[in-house]
A and B are shown apart, each in its own frame.
Chain A
Amino acid sequence: MAEELQMQEAGKGPRKRNIGHKKGKGKKKMKVFHGSGQQKVKMDGKTKKLFRKRARDYNSDDSEDDDNDIEEEEEEAAPPLKFEKKQVHIEDEEDDEKSSDEEVDEDVDVSNDVSDDEDGEIQPGIMKFFEGNTSFKKAFKKIIKRSGTDDVLGPVLSAHKKLVVKKLAEDAAEKKVKGDAKKEKTLLGEKGHVKPDAFSVPHEKLLIGVATKGVVKLFNAVNKAQSSQKGLNPSRSKDAKVIQKRRKEAFFSELGKPSSTVSTSGGGGGDGEGPAWAPLRDNYMLTTSKLKDWDKAADAPEATDGFGRQDDSSSDEDD
């Protein structure tokens, strides 16, 4: 077995150069070792530690790849072993990687290796590199060969697969519930909101007609009122006086015909003789001073139920 190892070393000599820049230090050391077979003693504690650590790292990787529990156990036992004994592990790993066929011989190898110290021990760290190299290659190839993710979940450990599926389903359900709630809420917020549609057009036309009537009424009234004072500029004091005079005349003429005013106020709601309903009384809330000019507007707008604005203004002009 030891010879085999050596052969491998020789064969794989050039390859180790590909290991990478990280191992540059190790490479150098290896060169030194090549020359002298018995230099094992020269390895200081630091290097030993390093090698041991690397070996351990490597072992752990290996165990993951191959799921070899036995080996793991062995590895755990390794740290207390002496440096020479470490070879055993290394070789074990090597065997594992080479092929599963050789696993049967493992135990024998272990015993052999201990005795073969001189041969095997020479380049403990490097051996590891070789093996690492191949295993890495293997793993890498394996990954490369795999064609994408064949699962919806992506790369998931098999043990967790069910769990993940469950969790995803739960998430989806939760999301759906939340979405439903939100939708409902917006729907509630939208209550009563309608977009104008075609079948309401006749009704709208009717309303526009009503509004138009009101506007025409107002404009005509304005025309009537303003045509009398045409040519007079209210900002000029002379004209303003004339306007004032006319207004006064108009006001008194309005007072002169009481019958019409009665009819207009009576048309509104029959509030001539003090209605029973409080808000319609002339002094409603005046005594309580709740409203100031509440009643003032009240007697004006009834004249025309369709269009109250003019009447409002006519009451304004009195002052």
Chain B
Amino acid sequence: MARFRNKKKVVFVKPAKKQPQQNVDHVTDLRKMMLPYTALNLKEKKRNNLKDFLNVAGPMGVTHFLMLSKTGSSPYLRVARTPQGPTLTFKIQEYSLAVDIANSQLRPRVPKDLFKNSPLIVLSGFGTGEQHLKLTTIMFQNIFPAIDIKTVKLSSCQRIVLLNYNKETKLIDFRHYSIRLQPVGVSRRIRKFVQNHQVPDLRSLQDVSDFVTKAGYGSESEGDDEAATVSLASDVGRVNKASTKSAVKLQEIGPRMTLQLIKIEDGLCSGTVIFSEYGNSEEKKEDSEEGSEGDGEEGSEQEDVMDE
């Protein structure tokens, strides 16, 4: 039964309080990223607080909350497990919306069933042995449903979420890519021909064989390095046949964030502080055991509006 639960991960992404339009966009972006197991059209009223969402979360099988909030200093992202924590609080140092990313690209790619399956997750650089990082790893892995490599269909792996931890800066790069597979060793023309089913323009050619043999433009030479090629177990789409080599190409979609882990709380937006970026975590522990939570250096993030 636990396995079934695992497969149906449902996530709420909600603004912690009323947000300006820009951040609402950010919320939508995050929700889209979490598709399909998320409440895409979750509406929040002013008087709703965390308790309301928590009450709904149980019956609906919601496993995680992602909460966005904003203070004067910067926006924050909190990732919490329901019903009883822990809660990770991230400071969002920088972020770009999916729209910004799409605008920066020459040809943004959004296949129609891109968001039909949940993304894969890749965590990189978290293996430093630090405990709070480990917890972060586990947290993010549990947000997305686990896949069984024995039965998974490669065609359902359309997106990937990357979390890359930088040891020096202690920042986490959050990226969201779409996965595209391309057969290796086939010229661009033929690939397009197979994909589009359109009659090619043969005016400039002497013979049909020219179409097959003539090399295309330089673009196909790039990216065909060995590291990025896989041999597929099953057919993916029309072009990528099983047991042929395919190149993995990633194109960025969705939101981009640079996160800084600030603190980890035991409960759901409450409880003892397990880890704090500012100040000694041991001290914090003692502090919180006495019942006084988060003050002093943490003055920059007093946005816990929803606690009560």
- Point out residues on A near B: beta carbons under 8 Å: 185-186, 188-197, 204, 207-208, 210-216, 218-223, 225-227, 229-230, 234, 243, 247, 267-270, 275, 277, 279-280, 290-294, 296-298, 301-302, 305-310, 312-314, 316-317, 319
Residue A305 contacts which of B70, B126, B162 (CB distance < 8 angstroms)? Answer: B126
- Decide: A305 and B22 in contact? CB cutoff 8 A: no
**Secondary structure at chain B's binding surface: helix, strand, loop or mixed?**
mixed
Contact check, B252 vs A208: say whether CB atoms are below 8 A apart: yes
Is B39 positioned at the interface, with any CB of A under 8 Å from its CB? Answer: no
* Bound Cα distance A197, B96 (Å): 10
Query: A212-B227, A292-B2 given as contacts; is B250 within 8 A of A192 (CB)?
Result: no
Say yes or no: A223-B232 contact (C-beta < 8 A), given A211-B160, A215-B179, A309-B120.
yes
Chain A residues whose C-beta falls within 8 Å of the C-beta of B5 in the assembled complex: 292-293
CB neighbours of B234 from chain A (8 A): 226
- Complex CA gap A211/B120 in Å reads 10
Residues from chain B with a CB closer than 8 A to the CB of A226 are 149-150, 233-234
Instruction: Tell me if B106 counts as interface (CB < 8 A to partner A).
Output: no
**Which of A210, A270, A277 is the one whose CB lies under 8 Å from B122?**
A210
What A residues does B162 contact at CB under 8 A?
207, 210-211, 214
Q: Judging by beta carbons under 8 Å apart, are B177 and A214 in contact?
A: no
A-B CB contacts (within 8 Å), total count: 195
Q: Give every chain B residue within 8 A of A230 (Cβ-Cβ).
A: 233
Complex Cα distance, B104 from A195, in Å, reads 8
List 7 tightest A-B contacts by C-beta distance, closest first: A305-B127, A214-B122, A189-B20, A226-B233, A219-B230, A223-B233, A312-B146
How many B residues face the partner with a CB closer than 8 A? 74
Give chain A nearest CB distance to B299 CB in angstroms.
17
Q: A313 — nearest CB in chain B belongs to which residue? A: B148
The residue of chain A having its C-beta at the shortest distance from the C-beta of B20 within the complex is: A189
Q: Is the CB of B151 within 8 A of A234?
A: yes
Partner of A301, one of B92, B138, B147: B138
B292 at the interface (CB under 8 A from A): no
B150 and A247 within 8 A (CB):
yes
Determine the distance from Cα of A312 to Cα of B231 in the docked complex, in whole angstroms: 22
With most chain A CB atoms within 10 A of its CB, the pick from B6, B103, B120, B152 is: B152
CA distance A294 to B231 in the complex (A): 34
In chain B, what residue has the closest Cβ to A229? B150
Name the one of A207, A234, A243, A297 contacting B142, with C-beta atoms under 8 angstroms: A297
Determine whether the beta carbon of A216 is less than 8 Å from that of B248: yes
Q: A291-B84, A305-B127 are in contact. Are A216 and B230 (CB under 8 A)?
A: yes
Of the listed stretches B107-115, B129-137, B183-191, B200-208, chain A binds B129-137
Distance A294 CA – B173 CA, assembled complex (angstroms)? 24
What is the CA–CA distance of A265 and B44 in the complex, to the nearest angstrom? 42
Check A308–B123 contact: CB distance below 8 A.
yes
Is B49 located at the chain interface by the 8 A CB criterion? no
Is B97 a contact of A306 with CB atoms below 8 Å?
no
Could you jot down 24 A-B contacts, CB within 8 Å? A189-B20, A190-B22, A193-B22, A193-B97, A195-B96, A207-B173, A210-B122, A213-B227, A214-B122, A215-B160, A215-B248, A216-B228, A216-B230, A222-B154, A226-B149, A226-B234, A267-B127, A268-B127, A277-B131, A294-B81, A305-B137, A307-B122, A308-B141, A313-B150
Interface residue B74 (Cβ < 8 Å from any Cβ of A): yes
- The yes or no answer to B175 lying at the interface (CB within 8 A) is yes
Distance in angstroms from B118 CB to nearest chain A CB is 11
A219 touches B146 (CB 8 A): no
Decide yes or no whether B289 CB sits under 8 A from chain A: no
**Given the known A-B contacts A302-B127, A306-B122, are A294 and B138 also in contact in the complex, defined by CB atoms under 8 Å?**
yes
The answer to whether A297 touches B122, judged by C-beta atoms less than 8 angstroms apart, is no
Report the nearest A residue to B91, measured CB to CB: A192
**B residues bordering A, Cβ < 8 Å?**
2-3, 5-6, 19-23, 70, 72-75, 81, 84-86, 92-97, 100-101, 103-104, 120-127, 129, 131, 134-135, 137-138, 141-142, 146-152, 154, 157, 160, 162, 164, 173, 175, 177, 179, 227-234, 248-250, 252, 256, 274
For residue B3, which residues in chain A have a CB less than 8 angstroms away from its CB?
316, 319
Contact indicator B151/A196 (Cβ below 8 Å): no
Whether A279 lies near B120 (C-beta < 8 A) is no
Given the known interface contacts A292-B2, A297-B142, A298-B138, the answer about A310 and B124 at a Cβ–Cβ threshold of 8 Å is no
Contacts A226-B234, A309-B147; A192 near B75 (Cβ below 8 A): yes
Contact present for A192 and B146 (CB under 8 Å): no
Which residues on the A side are within 8 Å of B122 (C-beta)? 210-211, 214-215, 306-307, 309
A293 partner residues in chain B, CB cutoff 8 A = 2, 5-6, 142
Residues on A with C-beta less than 8 A from B81 are 291, 294
Known pairs A219-B230, A222-B154, A226-B233; A309 contacts B146 (CB<8 A) = yes
> Which of A210, A222, A268 is in CB contact (< 8 Å) with B152?
A222
B151 (CB) vs chain A CBs: closest residue: A234
Contacts of A309 in B (CB 8 A): 120-122, 141, 146-147
Residues of B within 8 A of A188 (CB): 72
- Give bound CA distance, A243 to B124, whole Å: 33
Complex Cα gap A307–B125 (Å): 10
Provide the bound-state CA to CA distance between A10 and B179, in Å.
Answer: 101
Tell me, in angstroms, the Cα distance from A305 to B93 when the chains sit together: 24
Chain A CB within 10 Å — which of B92, B149, B164, B173 has the most? B149
The one of B157, B233, B250 that contacts A211, using a Cβ cutoff of 8 Å: B250
In the docked arrangement, what's the CA distance between A231 and B241, Å? Answer: 15
Distance between Cα atoms of A112 and B117 in the complex (Å): 107
The chain B residue sitting closest to A318, CB to CB, is B3
- A219 is contacted by which of B84, B126, B148, B248 (Cβ under 8 Å)? B248
| A318–chain B nearest beta-carbon distance, Å | 10
Given contacts A193-B95, A234-B151, A210 and B135 within 8 Å (CB-CB): no
